[in-house]
Amino acid sequence: MRIGVVGATGLVGGQLLRTLEDRGFPTGELRAFASARSAGRAVPYRGVEVLVEEATEASYEGLDVVLMSAGATLSRQLAPGIAAQGPLVIDNSSAWRNDPEVPLVVAEVNAAALAEIPKGIVANPNCTTMVCMPVVAPLHAEAGLVRIVASTYQAVSGAGIDGVGELAVQVASAGEKARELAWAGDSVDLGRARVFPQPIAFNVVPQAGSFVDDETDEEKKFRNESRRILALPDLDVSCTCVRVPVFTGHSVSLVLETSSDLAPERAVELLTSAPGVELAEVPTPLLSAGRDPTYVGRIRRAGDRPGRLAVFVSGDNLRKGAALNAVQIAEALVAQGKLG
C-alpha cells in the first residue's frame, strides 16, 4: 500500500505512524506531509527517517490512501483535490463529518457505511464521541437508545501539541508557589491562558471548544456525530464538554435512557463481548493512555426509574479517538476490496 500522512508532525500524525507500524499495515511506500514550517524535517517510520513534504505543494498521485490530521481548514482546502488524484482520503478533522456524502465511521459500530464513498473521503469522528460509541452501540442494539446525557472530562492533548505545552508550562511555572497557595486555599496565578480559555493546570474548565450559541462546537459535535453513527437522527443528546488537566485520555460520564429497561448485569454481559471495549472497575484516563480499548465501568442504574443506566468511559483520544480508528477504517477498506 502507498500511504500518505498529512499532519505527520502533529500529535495525531505521530500516533498514526506508530499505529500503522504496530498493526503491521502493509506499507510499500509512506510519504509524510505537514506545513511549510516542517518541510525538510524527518519523521520516523519503521526505523527509517521519512522526509516531510509541504502538504499544499505536493502531488498525491500514485498513493492509495491519505490519512489527514492537519485541521479542518486544510482538509476543506486539500481533501477533494487529493481524492481527485486517486487516493482515498481518511480525514480526522471536523471538515466532512456532517456531509451526507461522506461516511462517518467508527470501525466497530458502522463499518457498513463504507459501502458508498461518493467523494472519495471518509470522516473519522471527533475523539470524545469516538471513545463512547463502542460502548453505547451494543447497549442501544439491545434496549433502544432514547436519550444521552453526557459530561466529558477531556484531556489537553485533544487540543494538539499546543494544548499539551500549555498544561506542561503552567504546571512547571506554578511549582512551589502552587503548593504554598493551595495550602492557604488561595487561587494561583498561572499566567496567561492561550490555547484554553482559562488556566488549565489545577483547574477544571467547563468550556471545551468555542461557543456557537449557548453550546460549544464540541458539544454540538457530540450530538450530531452520535446521531449519525448510531443512525438515530432524532436522538435526544445533552452534553457538557469539560477540559481537565490530564495529558492524554478522554473520559465521559454517560447517562443512557433506553426504551426498554436494561439491567446493569445485562449491560456488563453485553460489554464484556463488545469489540473495542474492556471492563474496568474504575476507568481512568491514565489506564487508557497508550492503550487501544475504551475502558468502561461504574455501570449502574441512574436514579430510581427503569430504563436509565449510568456508565463511565475512558479512552485514549489520540489512539481510538483518532489514529487507531483511522487505521481500522483503512483495514476495513482493504478487507472490503476497496483499497489496494
**Cβ atoms of 3 and 29 closer than 8 Å:** yes
Angle at CA 152, nearest 5°, toward 151 and 153?
A: 130
Selected range binding ligand NAP among 57-65, 139-147, 305-313, 317-325, rule: CB under 6 A: 317-325
Judged by beta carbon, residue 56 or residue 253, the one nearer ligand NAP is 56
Rounded CA-CA distance 114/338 in Å is: 9
Q: Whose Cβ is closer to ligand NAP: residue 157's or residue 226's?
A: 157
Phi, psi (deg, nearest 5) at residue 323? -65, -45
Best CA proximity match to 7, nearest among 92, 101, 87:
92
Which is nearer to ligand NAP, 7 or 297 (by Cβ)? 7
Tell whether residue 297 is a contact of ligand NAP (CB under 6 A). Answer: no
Nearer to ligand NAP, 12 or 143 (CB): 12
Instruction: Please say if 239 is a catalytic residue.
Output: no
Task: Report the alpha-carbon distance of residue 19 to residue 107 in Å, rounded.
Answer: 15
Which range in 59-67, 152-160, 235-243, 297-305 contacts ligand NAP by CB under 6 A? 152-160
Q: How far is the CB of 46 from ligand NAP (least distance, A)?
A: 19
Give the range of 156-164, 201-209, 251-259, 282-290 binding ligand NAP by CB under 6 A.
156-164
Contacts 24+ apart (CB under 8 A), 170-175: 170/199, 170/200, 170/201, 171/201, 171/202, 171/245, 174/201, 174/202
Q: Which of 320, 9, 261, 7 is nearest to 135 (CA)?
A: 320
121 binds ligand NAP (CB under 6 A): no
Q: Residue 80 interacts with ligand NAP (CB under 6 A)?
A: no
Distance CA 188, CA 181 (A): 6
Exactly one of 140, 239, 241, 250 is catalytic; name it: 250
Q: Which residues are catalytic?
A: 127, 250
Residues that bind ligand NAP (CB under 6 A): 7-13, 34-35, 37-38, 55-56, 69-72, 74, 92-93, 127, 157-158, 160-162, 317-318, 321-322
